[in-house]
A and B are shown apart, each in its own frame.
Chain A
Amino acid sequence: MAGDRSQEAKAPVLEVRNLRVSYTTAAGPLRAVNGVSFYLWPGERLGLVGESGSGKTTTALSLMRLMQDTTVVEGGEVLLDGVDLLKLSEEEMRQARFAKISLIPQGAMNSLNPMMKVGEQLRDTIRAHQPKGNSKATIDARIQQVLESVELRLNVMDSYPHELSGGMKQRVCIAMSILLNPKVIIADEPTSALDVVVQRQVMETLRRVQVALGAAVILVGHDMGLMAQFVDRIGVMYGGKLVEVGPVRGIFKDPLHPYTQLLIKSLPNLDMKDVFRGIPGLTPSLLTPPPGCMFHPRCPQVIQRCSVDIPKFVEIKPERWAACHLCEGGRQ
């Protein structure tokens, strides 16, 4: 596993400290990301899971400073190799995108420009970062290299996106994301639009190119099964906060946070075919968040403190982080 002792001497490639992002709405600011902190080792695969509206995609996109007009980064740091991306100028950030931190987008079906040939969309990615001196032949040679690495034929370069299948489009997006050898790749539910078989193939491809490149990956999604197969560590988000982070085996075997416990219990299980358990209740309103722990209105193990104090996100055991009063108190 990439995330353990052997790498501890090294510095993390990405460190997020107390990131806070809100959306401006008619009803007031909506705190979508509320004090998220985590780190990412070089070459590591980290999964961010959570329900819809838990802030996982907002977190991921904020790392690249990709936001709408209504999004405000209220504070925090995003340190990529020690450089705070949130402090870069617009132009410096533009240069960093895809060269240092790249994205495999959520809507694979519509993420390519329908009016432009695939080859041209790969070329303009390179040109945007190396404007002069590179001949078309050099650029195309690099493109051919990455297309081969994602098992696409070279003739996709002359195709328009609508002429490709969903899996092929997603492979093009993967190829694009590694064109400039980034250190970090953010994969935002990269397979949510694909069927299960193609999903597996695409994830295998992603893993292979990521390992070959040595890039770290943040995989955003809500498919715990996919996470279990793909990532080294998992971060569980709830109501705009990370509630638990830990190695994937540890989390599945011994989840610390009650939310994580319920999440894992709700997975379909071969031994218990009949019941299909969800988590009772609804996600909290981020406009009027509950006091104390965000999860306490739904938590089966709720205690007095939960509705008063906000639990701190702390390392409970080596490598195991959680934000819960029960764990803090030295459960186990």
Chain B
Amino acid sequence: MRGLDLRYFVRRIGMFFLVIFAAASFNFLIPRLAPGNPIGAINSRMSQASAGIENGQAMFEAYRKRFGLDDPIYIQYAKYMWNTLRFDFGESLSAYPAEVWEIVRPAIGWSISLIGVSVLITFAMGITVGAMLAWKGTPKLVRAFLPITMIGGVLPYYLLAMLLLYLFAFTTKLLPMSGAYDSGIPRELSGPYIISVLRHAILPALSIILTSVGTWALTMRGLIVNTIGEDYMLLAEAKGLPKRRILWWYSVRNAIPPQLTHLAIALGYVVSGAILVEIVFSYPGLGYQLYMAIVNSDYTVIQGITLILAVSVGLSVLIIDLIYPRLDPRVTYVAESSG
């Protein structure tokens, strides 16, 4: 590919795996530094449910053995790394005998579709609004309307989420309160199911979109304003190009590469970025599952989710890095020795 040589490619991929390795190691370490104990959590839950357990200590030991928590820490680490390499995150500690993967897999789907799509919509809206704010060709009426999109930017998204919930779900009952679909509908690709999924997605998506469009628009406006004084903009106008062509192919085209980097990182964080929204709407995405896992000191689920988070951030940054010479032709990645 133009601007990219094999040596750089290999080096960059190597860097990616190094990052994942480091993330996986921290991932192993950090939950074990936190106070609390998974077996203790299970025990206390059980004793709350049935006011005391017989042979509590024996069960505690059995669980510790079952999950390998009685091994020395380095053995646990080695086992963990070996399993991680095989994408085996083990069994959930709190929802045993469910596998971590069984809990995480559906959550990934919900998070990517809700938050991923919301971020993409936000990006597209923010870019457009920002460009139009900066552009002198924008009709006055539109221009007067645009700053409204900024209002959401001053609200924390979880507050807006609760406001929307109160207005549209609790008070008027126009939209569902929580979850990702109506449990009464069979989970298959049918009209009612899709409608139900969409209806459940509206409020969480809105609370993400409305609170972040403003930020995207403001950055974009700044980047566009920077291009307006450029010499190539004068020549573009002098050439008699239509305004729209100048805006999109000269101004926006030059302003957008840093925004795409930002988008890649934002998409990488899709997994964790909206934990609070998922909690407010009890939306069964990764953020919600991560929260539940933390509450239950569920090491294995926490490890599974944070590793997925690390991989997704690393992967999206890797991808944007490798395609950057396509986005900005002035950027080339060629090892120094080969010129």
B228 to chain A, nearest CB (A): 9
Cβ of A128 within 8 Å of any chain B Cβ, yes or no, is yes
Give the residues from 210 to 257 in chain B that come closer than 8 angstroms, CB to CB, to chain A: 230-232, 234-242, 245, 249-250, 253-254
Interface string of A100-115 (1 = CB under 8 A from B): 0011011101111111
Determine the distance from Cα of A286 to Cα of B159 in the docked complex, in whole angstroms. Answer: 55
Determine the distance from Cα of A115 to Cα of B230 in the docked complex, in whole angstroms. Answer: 13
Cβ of B72 within 8 Å of any chain A Cβ, yes or no, is no
Determine the distance from Cα of A309 to Cα of B265 in the docked complex, in whole angstroms. Answer: 67
Main secondary structure of the interface of B (DSSP, over half): helix
Contacts of B250 in A (CB 8 A): 113
**B238:A97 contact, CB within 8 angstroms:** yes
Cβ of A195 within 8 Å of any chain B Cβ, yes or no, is no
Cβ of A242 within 8 Å of any chain B Cβ, yes or no, is no
Q: How large is the interface on A (under 10, 10 to 19, 20 to 34, 35 or more residues)?
A: 20 to 34
Cβ of A99 within 8 Å of any chain B Cβ, yes or no, is yes
**B242:A128 contact, CB within 8 angstroms:** yes
Give the residues from 79 to 122 in chain A that come closer than 8 angstroms, CB to CB, to chain B: 94-99, 102-103, 105-107, 109-116
**B249:A116 contact, CB within 8 angstroms:** yes
Cβ of A125 within 8 Å of any chain B Cβ, yes or no, is yes
Partner of A111, one of B231, B240, B245, B253: B231
**A66:B136 contact, CB within 8 angstroms:** no
A10 to chain B, nearest CB (A): 27
**A97:B329 contact, CB within 8 angstroms:** no
Partner of A116, one of B234, B237, B253: B253
Partner of A114, one of B234, B236, B330: B330
Determine the distance from Cα of A94 to Cα of B241 in the docked complex, in whole angstroms. Answer: 7
Cβ of A220 within 8 Å of any chain B Cβ, yes or no, is no
**B232:A113 contact, CB within 8 angstroms:** yes
Determine the distance from Cα of A105 to Cα of B237 in the docked complex, in whole angstroms. Answer: 11
Cβ of B88 within 8 Å of any chain A Cβ, yes or no, is no
With known contacts A116-B249, A162-B330, A103–B240 Cβ distance under 8 A: no
With known contacts A69-B136, A113-B250, A116-B249, A124–B239 Cβ distance under 8 A: yes
Determine the distance from Cα of A77 to Cα of B237 in the docked complex, in whole angstroms. Answer: 21
Specify the chain B residue showing the minimal Cβ separation from A105: B235
Cβ of A305 within 8 Å of any chain B Cβ, yes or no, is no
Interface string of B31-75 (1 = CB under 8 A from A): 000000000000000000000000000000000000000000000
Cβ of B328 within 8 Å of any chain A Cβ, yes or no, is yes
B220 to chain A, nearest CB (A): 16
With known contacts A98-B240, A105-B238, A115–B328 Cβ distance under 8 A: yes
A131 to chain B, nearest CB (A): 9
Q: How large is the interface on B (under 10, 10 to 19, 20 to 34, 35 or more residues)?
A: 20 to 34
Cβ of A208 within 8 Å of any chain B Cβ, yes or no, is no
**B329:A115 contact, CB within 8 angstroms:** yes
A185 to chain B, nearest CB (A): 11
A217 to chain B, nearest CB (A): 15
**B249:A113 contact, CB within 8 angstroms:** yes
Determine the distance from Cα of A99 to Cα of B239 in the docked complex, in whole angstroms. Answer: 9
B106 to chain A, nearest CB (A): 41
With known contacts A113-B249, A114-B330, A162-B329, A95–B240 Cβ distance under 8 A: yes
Determine the distance from Cα of A111 to Cα of B231 in the docked complex, in whole angstroms. Answer: 5
B212 to chain A, nearest CB (A): 26
Determine the distance from Cα of A66 to Cα of B230 in the docked complex, in whole angstroms. Answer: 14
**B238:A110 contact, CB within 8 angstroms:** no
Cβ of A64 within 8 Å of any chain B Cβ, yes or no, is yes
A122 to chain B, nearest CB (A): 10
**B238:A64 contact, CB within 8 angstroms:** yes
Contacts of A66 in B (CB 8 A): 234, 237-238
**A106:B330 contact, CB within 8 angstroms:** no
**A114:B237 contact, CB within 8 angstroms:** no
With known contacts A113-B250, A115-B253, A124-B249, A94–B232 Cβ distance under 8 A: no
B245 to chain A, nearest CB (A): 7
Contacts of A95 in B (CB 8 A): 240
B17 to chain A, nearest CB (A): 32
Cβ of A39 within 8 Å of any chain B Cβ, yes or no, is no
Partner of A125, one of B231, B234, B239, B254: B239
Determine the distance from Cα of A125 to Cα of B237 in the docked complex, in whole angstroms. Answer: 10
**B240:A129 contact, CB within 8 angstroms:** yes
Determine the distance from Cα of A96 to Cα of B328 in the docked complex, in whole angstroms. Answer: 32
B135 to chain A, nearest CB (A): 12
A115 to chain B, nearest CB (A): 5
Specify the chain B residue showing the minimal Cβ separation from A126: B239
A-B CB proximity, top 3 nearest: A97-B240, A107-B231, A110-B231
6 contacts between A and B (CB under 8 A): A111-B231, A124-B239, A124-B249, A128-B240, A128-B241, A128-B245
Q: Which A residues are closer than 8 A to B by beta carbons?
A: 64, 66, 69, 94-99, 102-103, 105-107, 109-116, 124-125, 128-129, 160, 162, 173, 176
